[in-house]
Structure 1
Amino acid sequence: MTTTHPQTLDTLPRVALVATGGTIAGTLIEGSETWAYESAQRSGESLVMNIPGLLRRAQWHFEQPYSIGSQNLELTHMLQLRAALIRLLRSPNVDAILVTHGTDTMEDMLYFLYLTLPAPLLTKPLVFTGAMLPSDADNADGPVNLSGALDFAVQCLPCDQPVYEAPFGLCMQGLFTAAQCVEKQSTAGLDAFDGPYSMLSDSNWFSSLNTLSPPADLGVPGQFSNLFGTDTLAHPLFEAMEVPIVFCVPGNGPLRQLNDLLNRKPASVVVAAPGHGNIPEFCVPVLRRLLLNGVSVVRASRVAAGGVEQGGEFNALDDFREGTLPAGTVGVYSESGSLSLSKCVVYERLRVLTRSLIGL
């Protein structure tokens, strides 16, 4: 017969909660005749205190590096959160990290961190969560998501497992999505992040992820971690990198927009073209001029799913692919692969920064 002993304060998992605002910390606007709320009105500590019994399930450490609606996310916020997470990942006094974040730019933040957090530090659960409804709404989903994120993180603590993979990604509505695969699928609904690479949030998550086989071109953990110091809070060159998206829509003036970019010379331009990235023929001459002026070009699609691979009917810029011309003389032409437009911009910003720093 096995006897179980109740956990004491000293044996509870040591969990850091990093709160950044978002809808999960939002409150309804009193007296509004429509369904309206303000994001980022509550602290992370108040969110935990408001969930019965949650405070007693861990030894909590609370941090709030900033508090915003995530539509207001800036590059400085991304660097600030990265530095805080690196410090907590290194801390011997933290077993797991939870992060509350707004859903609007959850994808941008997680993909940035996936590419820039040093991979050797990802040895403890790092679990993001959020909400689609503010904290005081009827049927608010934040309490369930935060409680579920804690359950998942604690399940995945290494204990005596011979092979341990620490989860890093998003836990909402009982599902876990690895950081590199997170995409907001809908503007509304509690299942807004249920995607093709979401799985049950339990200790078998890593086996489930391998079964789902995410695309290989999402990059590798820490791919660009050496671009920043571990405590970098600002990087002028990174913040100056401009990566605009030009949508090829009839009547939207993509040619005019591309000509305007010739004057600004951004680091890179993402062309969101119809179908399988079928760039209109009249855009090709100005894209060649941009490439000759050192502006990289990424061929992407305005279609949400499917991605853009090399091939198909568009090959007009193939002679600008990396390796075909002397390094540094021109911009680089490429396809977005399986990256969403949001991920494509994050990846391009980091890639062109790398090229700039090593003098390519």
Structure 2
Amino acid sequence: MNAMKRAAAVLSALAALFVAGCSSGGGDAAPPDHGSSSHPDDRKGNGMRGMTLPSWNTDDYSSPQAGIYLKQIASAGARWVVFTPTWYQDKVTDSAIRTTEETADDSSLRHIIGLAHSAGLKTMIKPHIDLVKGGDRAEIRPRDPDAWFGAYERCITHYADLATATGVEQFAVGTELAGTSQDGDHWGEVVAAVRKHYKGPLTYAANYDEYKKIPFWRDLDVIGIDAYWPLGDKATTDTARLRQAWQPIAEELAAFSAKQGRKILFTEAGYVSQKGSTTAPYSWTVSKRDGDAEQAAAYEALLATFNGKPWWAGVCWWMWDDWPDAGETAKRLAYTPHGKSAEKVLRRWWGHG
């Protein structure tokens, strides 16, 4: 999900070895494959039980609210939390990438990783690259690829070093960079460089319409997909209908996982609590009408569809609460499930209901 909050509009629309701890959701035994089962006794949720806590300012992760959010996330049944430090570039054709006042400070990132571990949560760092004036990071197509990838490698290995130093359990080498991700040679070099700095499991967070084009999945440990597939052209709270919409997608993913010899992790998935959210899960601004029930139905449908699938590595939901005074979307309409019916769905599936 494009992290540029000021652009709050539509965003970028089985391996023999697998990630230690990821397939077990942080120590939780995976249940048998019940397929379409949705009985409460089956709702222990295999795979990563993750929640994303993005940052929008330098000191978000060191703010007093950080520890509160992490306790809430753990209380909802999550076992993983994802952090998203973001660097920026001015234009899609530029080669320079830099920090800004919206980039999480390294000390704040170290601080919140420590807090997460103290709260019993495993962690993943998933760095983002965004555009200073807003826009879709998938449109980044540098005029000088060699220079851009050199700058990107410096950025990503910086966080790989930080991940190693802080005991981060998983790391993403990139997020939704569809304008560059077909460049297998350069990305192969990026992955190789990251492995010199970080020895844990690696993924890349491909957008749902990007993942089939990635040439370097076999260089990674798990396939990451930001799962914002539209599930219909009309608003609905009918969970059965949403699950039916997921079925052909699930069949495609199962086949892709088998072909690549890697499990698939939903590095992001989420729905605003707005009427019509299932028609455009990637948009912050589907409507101004309350969609609490539709958001909850979407959470239920995703978990009921994929829970127990042997090739599925879990989900990292986008996102928990916004930081005080940072949100441009009212909480009642935003992606957060906190305090909404969707949180009750998570608690049932994740054993905290």
Q: TM-score range by the shorter chain?
A: under 0.3
Q: Which structure would you say has the larger Rg?
A: 1
Give the alignment's TM-score, normalised by structure 2: 0.24
